[in-house]
Amino acid sequence: MAFLTSALIVSGTAVDHVSASSRPATVTAIGDSYLAGIGAGDYTTSAGCRRSQRSAPALLARSVTAHLVDLTCPGGTIIDSSRRAPAMSPDTDVVIIQAGGNDIGFAALAGACFLAGSSTCLSQVREGHRRLPEVRRGMLGLVRQIRLTAPTADVIVLGYPRLLGSTEQCRSLLDPIRVRAVNRLQRTLDRVIRSAGRTGGATFLDWPRRVDRSSLCSVDPWYALAGSRLDDLLHPDERAHRALFRHLARATRP
């Protein structure tokens, strides 16, 4: 994958192409709170959307002195992302998409599975599965829209980091029934996103395995937990975003 930027080698990342106008490179991020860096700290707010200066897209843009167009917004759905897509530049070089979690009701799912009983959790999981065909259609439409808006961009669609570990790892946090149900829904969501992204001509990239291993059930979770502001909870922290940044940097090398 070619990351079209001015010819620079920054932070060990090779960048091989000079655009005709030698313009600064542009990285566009579009999607929900996971890509906005909620949980990583150092926030700014623009147009009602809180975003972190420590998010993986922000780190990627700074590493190659690129301009970041941040169209992420906490709580954003695929439709919300589609509405923001026209704000991106037609000659953006890289577009990173993270969406779909709010479309299956992630916040309601977290509340049902962590705070309520198994039956409430399983009911919410079933509702999440019911919405997956809509997620696929929406993601495919979003990728195609971005392809039309920025035809020369490298488009990367992200999956979601694994929220829970194995039933054994999670035994002190949740019962096995809920752990298996949540893990299955998350795996299926990632497959749906991957399929839609690839069909639309995007590259699918999951969060690094190191982040998956640092799930909520691990000894040292890479998530915002107790002591964080309420709307940061259950979001990947700064360590997770640094790992995702390195993952993205490798993926965008020529």
Q: Where in the chain are the domains?
A: 24-36+51-251
CB count within 10 Å of CB 190 equals: 19
Confidence class of residue 2 from pLDDT cuts 50, 70 and 90? Answer: low
Nearest C-alpha neighbor of 114 from the set 237, 222, 217: 217
**What's the maximum distance between 2 C-alpha atoms anywhere in the chain?**
59
The pLDDT value recorded for residue 60 is 96
Classify domain 24-36+51-251 by CATH number.
3.40.50.1110
DSSP assignment string, 44-74: EEETTEEEETTSHHHHHHHHTTPEEEEEE-T
For residue 231, name the pLDDT band (cuts at 50, 70, 90): confident
Q: CA separation (Å) from 176 to 17, 26, 72, 119, 170?
A: 50, 45, 34, 13, 8
Answer yes or no: is pLDDT of 214 > 60. yes
DSSP 8-state class, residue 25: P
Report the share of the chain in percent with pLDDT over 90. 81
Looking at 98-217, list the stretches that DSSP marks H as alpha helix, in order from N- to C-terminal side: 106-115, 118-130, 132-149, 176-199, 209-213
Confidence band of 20 (pLDDT split at 50, 70, 90): very low
158 contacts: CB under 8 Å, gap ≥ 6: 31, 34, 35, 96, 97, 98, 193, 204, 205, 206, 207
- Does residue 14 have a pLDDT over 80? no
Answer whether residue 5 shows pLDDT above 80.
Answer: no
Q: Specify the amino acid at residue 1.
A: M
Q: What is the pLDDT of residue 177?
A: 94
pLDDT of 179 > 50? The answer is yes
Average pLDDT, the chain: 90
Between strands 43-46 and 49-52, the pairing is antiparallel
Cα–Cα distance between 245 and 53 in angstroms, integer? 12
Q: Is the pLDDT of residue 22 over 70?
A: no
> What is the DSSP code (8-state) at residue 223?
B
Instruction: Decide: 11 and 246 in contact? Cβ < 8 Å.
Output: no
pLDDT number for residue 163: 94
Instruction: Note the pLDDT of residue 18.
Output: 31
User: Residue 28 has what pLDDT?
Assistant: 97
pLDDT at 29: 98
pLDDT band (50, 70, 90) for residue 202:
very high
How much of the chain, in percent, has pLDDT values that exceed 70?
A: 90
Site of tokens 């000894």: 219
Range scoring the smallest mean pLDDT among 77-81, 82-86, 224-228 = 224-228
Residue 65 pLDDT more than 60? yes
Quote the tokens at residue 132. 């997956």
